[in-house]
Amino acid sequence: MTTRKFGAPIRRNEDSRLLSGQALFVDDVELPGLLHAAFLRSNVAHGRIRSIDVTAARARHGVIAVYTAADLGDYWAPGPLLVPPPPIAGITFNQRTQVPLAKDKVRHVGEPLACVLAESRYLAEDALADIVVDIEPLPAVVDLEKAVAGNAATVHDDVGANVAAHVRQSRGNYAAARAQARHVIARRLCYDHGASSPIETRGIVARWDARANQLTIWDTTQAPVFLRNGLAAMLGLSERQVRVIAPFVGGGFGPKIMLFYPEEVVIPWAARKLNRPIKWIEDRLEHFFATTHERGQTHDAEIALAADGRILGVKDVFLHDTGAYNPYGLTVPINSQCTLLGPYVIPNYDSTFTAVFTNKPIVTPYRGAGRQHGVFVIERLLDIAAKELNIDRAEIRRRNLIPLDAFPYNNEIIYQDFTQLSYDSGNYEPILDKALELVGYKHFLAEEQPRLRAEGRHVGIGIACYVEGTGIGPYEGAKVQVQSNGKVSVATGIGTQGQGHFTVFAQIAADQLGVEVTDVDIVTGDTDQFYWGAGTFASRGAVVAGNAVNEAAIAVRKKILKLAADHFECAEEDLEIANGAVSVVGVPGQAVKLGALALKANPMRGAVQPGTEPGLESTQYFGPPSGATASGVHAMIVEVDPQTFMLKVLKYVVVHDCGTVINPLILAGQIHGGVAQGIGNAFYEQLVFDEDGQLLNASLADYLLPTALEVPHMDIAHTVTPSPLNPLGIKGAGEAGAIPVGPLFAQAIEDALELAAKKVELLEIPLSPNRLFELTTAVPKNPQ
């Protein structure tokens, strides 16, 4: 009998390499004759290019080539639309995608104008200063409301009023619901999300091997297969001639999936043209402009309630900043629109958004991918409703939760995966109960808070609910193979950025094949090892690729049993696979190792039977019909210093349901990291643009990522409601930690500072000490 690996807190297979400095990251690739690239980037947000003179740069010692848009010739083209707009009736979508090097016009600070290739990175950067650029500045489109006003400048000359998209989705009849409501609350809410800021910036190394006619790319991408296919098409190569390797990648969180970044278009082309390997590594300053962000939305939202606090309907109209181009389609605002509905019964919903082009870097999904914005709106509206209806904050949420017997629950609008937004399974009330219990909700409000307030301390509590659509299609695949050394090899097409894939996929395969987790070797992100796949996004790796690994391992298990039954001349039912061998149950000494069977499955003589294949190998694919919906509740007790407005989180609780758990240790890590990013978003991180579209805080000294002092200890608990949409019953967990932190902070800080008495509402994220000072002092004191 072997212990089941699935569900156990197995230590990670990948750690030894990472801990000893032996893991390969893109910037670790060293090749003979390597050239280094540097990009000259626009220093104005909006302008017409009059001229770019690269003569002096080309003449500099050590510079091999300098390219502008003109040098790219027919290769120059706007990038593809990664995600087309969903099939929603009446939709407007104006596709304007980024270009490899700006031609005619620049549309955001940091947009690349020229690329220098030199013998060292130092020399390449020196040569940037030799390039003379003449740009006629144009008024920058920065503010969302001004952008859509009739008289604004236009980011794209042929797109009037800067409207990138206009989408309305509705369910039921909001107007009728409003007419029946006892209470209607309307507010303007602003939610700004920031830069994902992985500690490894982006990078690419390209090598053209003229003898093999093959291009090899090492890239910090979350989607190596799409990158391979796209590059092959652009360069006129067959896919077989292009190998993309996403080695160890130092964090991604969404922006590393954007395709195609200009550097990914220019560097492979130049490597082939010059027949020299080329490396480009983004520096931190560039990262703030050249890698995509998530940013702001302004919501005008209204909630209609019955007297008992039940939601009758919600209406929301919002503006979404999509930046200078929209290659990622509508994923972010659609997620906002859908996730606003949360774990609640909202029978009538009317939501309209306008995505707006601005002269700021491109917006694509960053951990949470717009879900935060929607959750902030509904959670804040419920907080205000609770206050106005004099219902407890937890109670008003409880009254509106979707009941257990209502699943699968169809929200009747279209989600980012183009299917109906239907929640596969869920059991929300126990999550809320557990969170209230762990944070000590009743005790805090009844005893702790009054006692601490009497001591002059400003302490408050918050509680926020959310759902997370995860594990969407289209599909992933896996190839599982028993090697002749007895170890198991698993290859999959997704990339990995720290999620523990080398371990969780190994756990899944190990259970089916009766081997140790350490005897399963996982390969991810190498297109020569696995041909097909979509990528790592939308909390889908474990769900979609994990189930593909499971299917392939099951198929290999069948092959093992069949071959071993032939070997022992017994029935398959009499066999057991454990400890790397197949044995006949109840017959000691009758065992054959998996490695020996693998050799036997690939014979040198004799015939492979018709209808069978050599080897103990199988490739299987898994594509879920729609996403699996995870859910959770975060609760927090915070203390605020009323002089400095600095915070101390006294308690932080996460209760989370992501279905069946593969590895609780890795899951805890995912939640911890998500919460830390949520805390950064809620109170420390903000991309500050001035009216000219200049980003004023593009350094890690000014854009404040939370440190070990800002991120508190977290208590985590789980409930388990398996997903019916996949055999393993799992749901994604990657983004859950980050999603509800903004409204939680706003609610707890309001409580701590007793802002209701001052008639101050915190209707925006991020907050900060400065912003709290402004918001709490700008309002005239309550005349009581």
Q: What is the binding site for other proteins (CB under 8 A)?
A: 11-12, 14-16, 18-23, 25, 27-28, 30, 61-62, 119-123, 196-201, 248-251, 253, 283-284, 497-500, 665-666, 668-669, 671-677, 699-701, 705, 707-709, 711, 713-714, 737
CA distances from 468 to 552, 737, 740 (A): 28, 10, 10
Rounded to an integer, what distance in angstroms lies between the CA atom of residue 521 and that of residue 501?
11
CB-CB contact of 545 with 509 (8 Å): no
Q: Alpha helices, DSSP H only, in 466-621?
A: 501-513, 546-568, 594-600
Least gap, CB of 674 to other proteins (angstroms): 8
DSSP string, 309-336: S-EEEEEEEEEEEEES--TTTTHHHHHH
Least gap, CB of 624 to other proteins (angstroms): 25
Least gap, CB of 199 to other proteins (angstroms): 4
CA distances from 570 to 196, 270, 573, 574, 635 (A): 57, 61, 8, 7, 58
Task: Provide the 3-class DSSP secondary structure of residue 579.
Answer: coil
Least gap, CB of 412 to other proteins (angstroms): 36
Least gap, CB of 669 to other proteins (angstroms): 5
Q: Nearest-CA neighbor of 183 among 311, 284, 87, 348?
A: 311
Least gap, CB of 492 to other proteins (angstroms): 18
Containing 72, the helix (H) or strand (E) segment is helix 69-72
Strands (E) across 95-212 are located at: 105-106, 112-118, 132-137, 163-171, 183-192, 203-209
Rounded to an integer, what distance in angstroms lies between the CA atom of residue 57 and that of residue 358?
32
Least gap, CB of 20 to other proteins (angstroms): 6
Rounded to an integer, what distance in angstroms lies between the CA atom of residue 621 and that of residue 638?
46
> HSE (CB half, 13 Å, CA atoms) of 700?
13
Rounded to an integer, what distance in angstroms lies between the CA atom of residue 494 and that of residue 147?
38
What the block records as the tokens of 423 is 């929640």
Burial of residue 116 (number of CB atoms within 10 Å: 0-12, 13-18, 19+): buried
**Residue closer to other proteins (CB basis): 384 or 676:** 676
Least gap, CB of 392 to other proteins (angstroms): 30
Least gap, CB of 656 to other proteins (angstroms): 14
**Residue closer to other proteins (CB basis): 35 or 147:** 35
Least gap, CB of 531 to other proteins (angstroms): 25
- Secondary structure of 694-748 in the HEC alphabet? CECCCCCCCCCCCCCCCCCCCEEEECCCCCCCCCCCECCCCCHHHCCHHHHHHHH
**Residue closer to other proteins (CB basis): 199 or 604:** 199
**Residue closer to other proteins (CB basis): 27 or 239:** 27
Least gap, CB of 768 to other proteins (angstroms): 18
CA dihedral angle for residue 489, residue 490, residue 496, residue 501, rounded to 10 degrees: -90
CB-CB contact of 552 with 480 (8 Å): yes
Sheet strand arrangement including 132-137: 105-106, 47-53, 132-137
Rounded to an integer, what distance in angstroms lies between the CA atom of residue 208 and that of residue 544?
33
